[in-house]
Chains A and B, each alone.
Chain A
Amino acid sequence: MAEIDTLRDALSRISEISREAISGQGDSYSGPEAEVEGVCTPKALPLHLQERAARTATQVNPMNAPMFGFVPDDDAFRELLSDPLRIAVLTSKYWGSSRRRLSVSFMESTPSELRNRIISHLNAWQCGIQFVHTSGTGQVRISRETDGYWSYLGTDILHIATSRPTMSLQRFSMSTPDREYRRVIRHEGGHTLGFPHEHMRRELVARIDPEKAYAYFLRTQGWSRTMVDQQVLTPLDERSIFATPADQTSIMCYQLPAEITRDERPIVGGPDINGTDRTFARRIYPPAPSFDERRERVDVQVEEQFSDEAGYSYEPVFAD
């Protein structure tokens, strides 16, 4: 390649990276959500390829293909399976490793200040899935007038009727303490990323005394024994998740009191996304290269191709 072509290619690359850095957008974003203003496995879920749920999951991410003991022939996925990290991901609900934007709308009239505050906490995971507001109908639809705090899981949100919320943040307002934003909204954001409750994993369920749990949840939640069985005492099917030992300080782990554990020690829930949470989320949903990583990539390219003669000052365009 002639030197001038090499130069053009390098400049083109610099321009592309600069544009992405400035606009926050890049060609790597895929899917219809990329068009939204300002701003989507081997679990044995749907077994039938012809069914819509399976098609959707597979369209979003080929690794979601339904399976019976399915193991993708993919080095990155094998690496994930062996990675010693711990948030469980319901594998059929995984959004895939490509960077992606999920549009967010609100079911009720919501002041922009509150919208921005909620979305900023959803984005606290700082991974390759970015939550962005849309004035239309979002893929993530938040209601503040429903009961309780909950969210559908991962790609399952695509199956919920657009007239219904996919996430419930009961009575969240600007006066809600910031610690609750961290504890609740980041937790619910984790569900939308595909992370189930950490305390449902077998290792933690084994610590719970069933009879104590029945009494506790009947008293505090009015739950039947069946409900307690399903919500608290039924561990995730180990074949349906990838990840490793449970982490009691994970944001996805609810607090469970000492009075219901066999060892009379509480199962401590996480008040915020911890380092391991974030590491894992960023591992399975890789974020855009950091400023330093981009600069390093360009430095190498420029130094090799242009030396000091180019004289371009490209650094400012990468400012956050």
Chain B
Amino acid sequence: MKTIRLIGVGEVTLEELEARLSAYVNAGAPKPILEGTREEKAEVLQRVATRGDAQMRAVVESLLKE
């Protein structure tokens, strides 16, 4: 499994990325920004979407469009 890295944060686990996305959407936390190529980011976000609920999938969909 490839390392997940966030700009300004560094390496994070998939669970931490999920927590950060949830707090970003629900509790005013800063937006987590993935490092890597477009394809690498998409791969990570797809993993998040696969594990998440409808809200998380909506967030991922929005991020994939950016």
Contacts and interface: CB of A to CB of B under 8 A. Distances in A.
Given A44-B53, A46-B51, A90 B25 contact: no
B23 A52 contact: no
B59 interface: yes
A196 interface: yes
Nearest to B24: A230
B51 A51 contact: yes
B16 A161 contact: yes
A226 interface: yes
A45 interface: yes
B15 to A, nearest CB: 4
Contacts of A159: 13, 15-16, 18-19
Nearest to B16: A159
B31 to A, nearest CB: 8
Given A152-B29, A237-B55, A226 B19 contact: no
A90 B19 CA distance: 12
Interface string B17-39: 01110111111111100000000
A229 B27 contact: no
Contacts of A261: none
B53 A239 contact: yes
A162 B66 CA distance: 30
Interface string B36-52: 00000000000000111
Q: How large is the interface on A (under 10, 10 to 19, 20 to 34, 35 or more residues)?
A: 35 or more
B22 A234 contact: no
Interface stretch (A123-131, A132-140, A142-150, A210-218): A142-150
B2 interface: no
A148 B19 contact: no
A48 interface: yes
Contacts of A56: 15
Contact of B26 (A47, A168, A196, A226): A196
A267 interface: no
B7 interface: no
Most B C-beta atoms less than 10 A away, residue of A90, A151, A159: A159
Contacts of B51: 45-48, 51
A44 B19 contact: no
Contacts of A45: 18, 51-53, 56
A119 B66 CA distance: 39
A255 to B, nearest CB: 13
A147 B30 contact: yes
Contacts of B16: 159-161
A11 B22 CA distance: 49
Most B C-beta atoms less than 10 A away, residue of A47, A152, A191, A200: A152
A231 interface: yes
Contact of A90 (B14, B22, B30): B22
30 contacts: A44-B52, A44-B54, A45-B18, A45-B51, A46-B51, A51-B15, A52-B13, A53-B19, A90-B26, A148-B28, A149-B28, A150-B28, A152-B19, A152-B20, A152-B22, A152-B23, A152-B27, A153-B22, A156-B19, A156-B23, A160-B16, A160-B20, A191-B23, A229-B62, A230-B58, A230-B62, A234-B58, A234-B59, A236-B55, A240-B53
Interface of B: 9, 12-16, 18-20, 22-31, 50-56, 58-59, 62, 65-66
